[in-house]
Amino acid sequence: MTISYNSSLQKHMHIWISIPLCFIYLVSILGNCTILFIIKTEPSLHEPMYLFLSMLAVTDLGLSLCTLPTVLGIFWIGARDIGHDACFAQLFFIHCLSFLESSVLLSMAFDRFVAICRPLHYASILTNTVIGRIGLASLGRSVALIFPLPFMLKRFPYCGSPVLSHSYCLHQEVMKLACADIKANSVYGMFVIVSTVGIDSLLILFSYALILRTVLSIASRAERFKALNTCVSHICAVLLFYTPMIGLSVIHRFGKQGSHLVQVIMGFVYLLFPPLMNPIVYSVKTKQIRDRVTHAFCC
């Protein structure tokens, strides 16, 4: 039994859509690989801030690779069917990496909090051991929460020929294709979102409230600007991630009468935009990375 992807576009349009999609994937993969290469090869970047950035790049790289086969398969060769097991595996990795990215963004907010509010204790608090434990804890939380989802979906019967609106599998959409009571899945899905994205976003907001209070207490205007400027890249990354994720969740849960095109566009923005823009934002706003990128491509 297979699940099909909906495509209301004419086939001759697929090739024109596949060109920008292919470009987005190419830039995303090259951009995140470049960030990882620079951080690995430059000893001066082996600091907590850049180690967390490397975690973000790995997560974005994973998200790009998770959706690439089905998205380009549809628009390149018209492969619109996917087996149930492959679909469940894809949604496991998509959701796991998405919630892992949320954890990494929270870790980066904690890094900025310590750097600005506790600068004298920065090196002693964020040691390599602590950073490693934070990474493992973030990964463990994501895997533990998402692991039950494929098995909860697998037990359902699926009537007729199920059709997805997106070019990849998401739990909130696949569960609606089941010919059974999906209340348990809906409640558990809401619990996962609240316990990850909900808590993480509140803690990030709380971190920046403390950062802002500390910054406003600095007498020098130049020093205040310098401290806030170190947070700009992270704030951009947070907005790039949470805005489309929250928007897509709202559309799936409450926008039943909404436009199908809006769902499709939000789906692409949710998974393609952060991996594309994060390397660009950090390359532009972070002097050390910008200088290394410029040196690499100009020499």
Q: If we measure between CA atoms, which residue out of 1, 4, 38, 20 comes closest to residue 295?
A: 38
- Longest pairwise C-alpha distance within the chain: 68
Residue 266: its pLDDT value, please?
A: 80
Cα–Cα distances (Å) from 202 to 110, 205, 292, in that order, read 12, 5, 34
Rounded Cα gap, residues 162 and 179, in angstroms: 10
Residue 240: its pLDDT value, please?
A: 92
Rounded Cα gap, residues 26 and 279, in angstroms: 12
Residue 1: its pLDDT value, please?
A: 42
Residue 4: its pLDDT value, please?
A: 53
DSSP string, 31-55: HHHHHHHHHHH-GGG-SHHHHHHHH
Residue 171: its pLDDT value, please?
A: 86
Q: b/e per residue, 159-195, with b = 16+ CB within 10 A?
A: eeebebbbbbbbbbbbbebbeeebeebeebbeebbee
Residue 255: its pLDDT value, please?
A: 59
Residue 295: its pLDDT value, please?
A: 76
| Ordered mean pLDDT values, 10 residues apiece, the chain (299 residues) | 51 70 92 93 90 96 90 74 85 95 96 93 93 96 95 85 78 85 89 93 96 88 87 93 83 63 78 92 86 74
Tokens linked to 211: 């950062």
Q: If we measure between CA atoms, which residue out of 81, 94, 72 comes closest to residue 21?
A: 72
Strand 2-5, strand 163-164: pairing: parallel
Rounded Cα gap, residues 7 and 166, in angstroms: 9
Question: Which helix H or strand E contains 179, and what residues bound it?
Answer: none
Q: DSSP state, 230?
A: T
